[in-house]
Structure formats: C-alpha cells, structure tokens
A and B are shown apart, each in its own frame.
Chain A
Amino acid sequence: HVQLVQSGAEVKKPGASMKVSCKASGYTFSNYGISWVRQAPGQGLEWMGWISAYNGDTNYAQNLQGRVTMTTDTSTRTGYLELRSLTSDDTAVYYCARDDSGLSYFDSWGQGALVTVSS
C-alpha cells in the first residue's frame, strides 16, 4: 500500500534553515509528484508547493517564493522540503502528500513533521 514516511521533529533558531524528508513506498514514484502542506498551530492547511518526481518541475506558493526549495531523489524515492530564513511564523506541522499534477487531490499523506522556530 502507499506509504509516505517523514523525518522527525526539529527545533530551529530564527534565521536558520530547515529540511524535511518524505520517503515514499508502495507506488511508482516517478509517476507522481509530491505536494507539501503545512499547518501552523491553531490554523488551517496551507499548500506550499509541488514537485514532479518525473522531471523535477516545481510550482511554489507565491508567498514562499525565494525561501523554499523542493527536490526529489528518485534513487531513494524521497522528496525534500527546504525552507530558509525561518521566523516564528514558520512554526508548523509540515506534511508531504502524493500529488500527480500539482493541482490535484491529496490521496496519501505523510505523518507530518513538527518544526518549531524559537530562539
């Protein structure tokens, strides 16, 4: 069955960078992409962007342009989310989700990774 397993919780200082991983199994990795969605404490779900595991094409949310990079490693079936210049507003649970086009529904999700930004 489809499974997405994410890296663990992290604590970061303001101004630092974070990198979360998402290892996929149970499907043909290159036939899909990965979207990243975050949820700040007490807030709703925010789509951050998408990367194609086929060719590396990306679409990022406009408010994160310049601070975010999404990558994939097809040899290990893993997606990565990097976010730079962190502030307390970036404290959130970060989810990866399988997404075939960057404008789709999210039928499988990782378990989430809590990133706390605090001095």
Chain B
Amino acid sequence: EIVLTQSPATLSLSPGERATLSCRASQRVATHLGWYQHKPGQAPRLLIYDASTRATGIPARFSGSGSGTDFTLTISSLEPEDFAIYYCQQRSNWPPTFGQGTKVEIK
C-alpha cells in the first residue's frame, strides 16, 4: 500500500501567519491526493481534492499544490478556527491511505 508521510508533525504558528504542510507519497499518485481538516470531537472535513481543487465552501486561504510524490497544503493567513490537525489522503491505488497528520497549533 502507498505510505503517506506528512511533515512536520507539529507546526506552531500565530494567527495571521502562513502555514505550509507537506505530504510525501511512497509511490507516484499523480494528482490523486486530498487534504482534510480534523478538529477534536468533529468529523474530518474535506478541504482539497485532486491536489489543488478546493472543496465546496472552502475559503480561498486554503490552497494545494503538487503532483507525483510531493504535495503541499498552504494556509495563507491563519484564522483562529484553522488550528487543527490536517491529513492528506491518496486515492490513486487501493487501499486508500491517510498520512499520520500535521497538528497546527497556536504559538
């Protein structure tokens, strides 16, 4: 199965700062990669699919890029509600797999 490795494990930033999260795949996945936001006690929320397409209702401060094995989620200016855990997920090869997550915490 494809292993997704996210870095860093934790990102400590202040509101208004830019967040850059990385996801690296053990095999090429083309652009079949999505990003989710997960807050405690809530269901995960799809932010980005196909590497760079924002899901319905997702603010423009969230953007995704990459293809092949290296992907990036960027939050251009952190809002208080953006502090959460972010997961990448590939749908290129069965089984679908998730990265281990990056926690974005308030500095």
Binding site for B on A (CB under 8 A): 35, 37, 44-47, 59, 61-62, 95, 102-107, 109-112
Contact = CB atoms under 8 A, between A and B. Distances in A.
Chain B residues touching A, majority SS:
loop
15 contacts: A45-B44, A45-B98, A46-B98, A47-B95, A62-B95, A95-B43, A95-B44, A105-B46, A105-B89, A105-B91, A106-B36, A107-B46, A107-B49, A107-B55, A112-B43
A106 B96 CA distance: 11
A107 B50 CA distance: 13
Indicate the size class of the contact surface on chain B: 20 to 34
Task: Pick the most buried of A46, A59, A104: most chain B CB atoms within 10 A of its CB.
Answer: A104
Interface string B49-73: 1000001100000000000000000
A92 B100 CA distance: 16
